[in-house]
């Protein structure tokens, strides 16, 4: 997206004058490790070159004005009242971050901000975290807050949990905030530590396939799955001193899974614990260049999410199954919370056009929906980009 276009739209809305700053915040894709983040396990996401752009400028009063090229409705709020209002729609994500800045003791004032992105809304690529970290970067720069990146990640997660009411883990905000060009992050969500792992794909590429089946995370079964995992932990405490599922090894779970009384809760726990082990193995395979083994674990991840965690749905399953039959594919799985959204596929670069043609045709045949395909690069986390 052309930054000059963002600047022109900003001036058209808010007039010229003052020091305008520009920012970019990526979306993210998770390569493997799904629904393990809030269970204290490992995830393996990367930031993408797709994302959200902003132009922002301080005001001399306490008014915050919000506009977006992706949504027609504009909004405004005074910094003395940043409470959630249904009528403010998408702007509540920005207000929530601003309120968390205030709660953390940072002095912020009025501002004008215009945002526009090239992330498909509701596709599971973490557009909400992209917008939150974008606002965080803007506030941090405009008002010289001096907040470090990890604190900003945690703050934006609090905004989504408490203000927006989505009980997400930290992966989305962490990947968007801490991303690094040509690297994925092996993130330990229990300890909040990470390792940058180079994505050396050697003649392969990652293709993101958008099912065009939209989902709203706050309205999905996400919070239900989290509650099921928490119940499983309570049952396992009869023998194990744990707070989160992924503190338990796969071997110990297989011996004592009968401690979990509810069969549904037991299946949710089985996915989370096995997925955590799969993620560690997958990164080991990537480090030694065994992309076929990495891809096989991607496939296993999708099957587990389909059968044990039950968060895929007919559209994601149709997309994954079409990909598994396409030429040059090493692995394919749903990415994100599920219930619609996207898959991520590791495919040989020479076969990428054939993959898109085959998968698109088969998916449309089975669902009646027209998919979209993206081959975004792996990029940096949220940052100021100009002026």
**Are 90 and 130 in contact, with CB atoms under 8 Å apart?**
no
Sheet harboring 204-210: ordered strands across?
Answer: 329-335, 342-348, 204-210, 372-374
| Sequence ranges of the domains in the chain | 3-197+379-386, 204-374
* From 83-92, 212-221, 234-243, 312-321, the region with the lowest mean pLDDT: 212-221
Of the candidates 177, 171, 173, the residue with the CA atom closest to the CA atom of residue 159: 173
Q: What is the mean pLDDT of the chain?
A: 94
**Mean pLDDT along residues 151-157:** 96
Q: What is the pLDDT of residue 1?
A: 76
Taking every pair of C-alpha atoms in the chain, what is the biggest distance, in angstroms? 67
Domain formed by 3-197+379-386, architecture? 2-Layer Sandwich (3.30)
pLDDT at 224 over 70: yes
Q: What is the pLDDT of residue 124?
A: 60
* From 203-217, 234-248, 351-365, the region with the lowest mean pLDDT: 203-217
pLDDT at 376 over 60: yes
Please write the tens of the pLDDT for every residue from 233-256.
999 999 999 999 999 999 999 999
Q: What is the pLDDT of residue 280?
A: 98
**Mean pLDDT along residues 256-277:** 98
The CA distance from 128 to 121, in Å, is 9
Q: What is the pLDDT of residue 170?
A: 86
Give 220 or 306, the one with higher predicted confidence: 306
**The CATH number of 204-374 is which of 3.40.50.300, 2.130.10.10, 3.30.420.40, 3.30.70.890?**
3.30.70.890
Q: Does 204-374 match 3-197+379-386 at the fold level? A: no
pLDDT at 218 over 50: no
Q: Give the model's confidence band at 215: pLDDT under 50 very low, under 70 low, under 90 confident, else very high.
A: low
pLDDT at 122 over 70: no
The CA distance from 127 to 374, in Å, is 15
Q: What is the pLDDT of residue 136?
A: 98
Query: If DSSP states are collapsed to H, E and C, what string results for the chain?
Result: CCHHHHHHHHHHHHCCCCCCEEEEEEEEEECCCCCCHHHCCEECEEEEEEEEEEEEEECCCCEEEEEECCCCCCEEEECCCCCCCHHHCCHHHHHHHHHHHHHCCCCCCCEEEEEEECCCCCCCCCHHHHHHHHHHHHHHHHCCCCCCHHHHHHHHHHHHHHHCCCCCCCHHHHHHHHCECCEEEEEECCCCEEEEEECCCCCEEEEEEECCCCCCHHHCCHHHHHHHHHHHHHHHCCCCCCCCHHHCCHHHHHHHHHHCCCHHHHHHHHHHHHHHHHHHHHHHHHHCCCHHHHHHHHHHHHHHHHHCCCCCCHHHHHHHHHHHCCCCEEEEEEECCCCCCEEEEEEEHHHHHHHHHHHHHHHHHHHCCCCEEECCCECCCCEEEEC
Catalytic residue among 172, 235, 317, 380: 172
Q: What is the pLDDT of residue 216?
A: 59
Other CB atoms closer than 10 Å to residue 72's CB: what's the count?
Answer: 8
Q: What is the pLDDT of residue 91?
A: 97
Give 122 or 286, the one with higher predicted confidence: 286
As a whole-number percent, the residues of the chain with pLDDT over 70 amount to 96
Give 375 or 31, the one with higher predicted confidence: 31
Question: Is 172 an active-site residue?
Answer: yes
Q: pTM higher than 0.85, yes or no?
A: yes
């Amino acid at each position: 997206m052309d930054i000059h276009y963002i600047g022109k739209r900003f001036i058209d809305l808010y007039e010229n004058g003052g020091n305008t700053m520009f920012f970019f915040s990526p979306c993210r894709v998770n390569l493997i490790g799904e629904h393990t983040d809030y269970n204290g396990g490992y995830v393996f996401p990367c930031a993408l070159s797709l994302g959200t752009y902003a132009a922002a400028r301080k005001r001399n009063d306490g008014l915050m004005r919000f506009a977006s090229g992706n949504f027609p409705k504009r909004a405004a709020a005074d910094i003395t009242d940043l409470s959630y209002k249904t009528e403010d729609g998408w702007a509540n994500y920005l207000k929530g971050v601003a309120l968390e800045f205030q709660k953390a003791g940072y002095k912020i004032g009025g501002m004008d901000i215009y945002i526009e992105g090239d992330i498909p809304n509701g596709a599971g690529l973490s557009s909400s975290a992209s917008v939150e970290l974008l606002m965080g970067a803007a506030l941090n720069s405009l008002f010289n807050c001096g907040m470090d990146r990890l604190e900003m990640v945690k703050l934006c997660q609090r905004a989504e949990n408490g203000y927006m009411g989505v009980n997400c883990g930290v992966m989305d905000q962490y990947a968007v905030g801490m991303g690094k060009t040509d690297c994925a992050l092996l993130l330990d969500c229990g300890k909040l530590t990470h390792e940058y792992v180079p994505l050396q794909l050697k003649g392969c590429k990652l293709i993101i396939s958008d099912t065009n089946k939209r989902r709203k995370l706050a309205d999905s079964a996400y919070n239900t799955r989290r509650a099921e995992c928490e119940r499983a932990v309570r049952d396992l405490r009869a023998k194990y001193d744990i707070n989160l599922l992924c503190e338990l090894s796969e071997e110990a779970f297989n011996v004592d899974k009968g401690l979990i009384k509810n069969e549904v809760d037991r299946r949710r726990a089985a996915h989370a614990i096995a997925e955590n082990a799969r993620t560690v193995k997958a990164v080991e395979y990537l480090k030694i260049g065994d992309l076929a083994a990495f891809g096989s674990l991607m496939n296993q991840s999708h099957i587990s999410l389909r059968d044990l965690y039950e968060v895929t749905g007919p559209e994601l399953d149709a997309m994954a199954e079409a990909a598994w039959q396409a030429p040059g594919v090493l692995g394919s799985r749903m990415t994100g919370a599920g219930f619609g959204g996207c898959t991520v596929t590791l495919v040989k670069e020479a076969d990428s056009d054939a993959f898109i043609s085959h998968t698109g045709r088969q998916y449309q045949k089975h669902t009646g929906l027209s998919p979209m395909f993206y081959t975004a690069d792996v990029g940096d986390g949220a940052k100021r980009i100009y002026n």
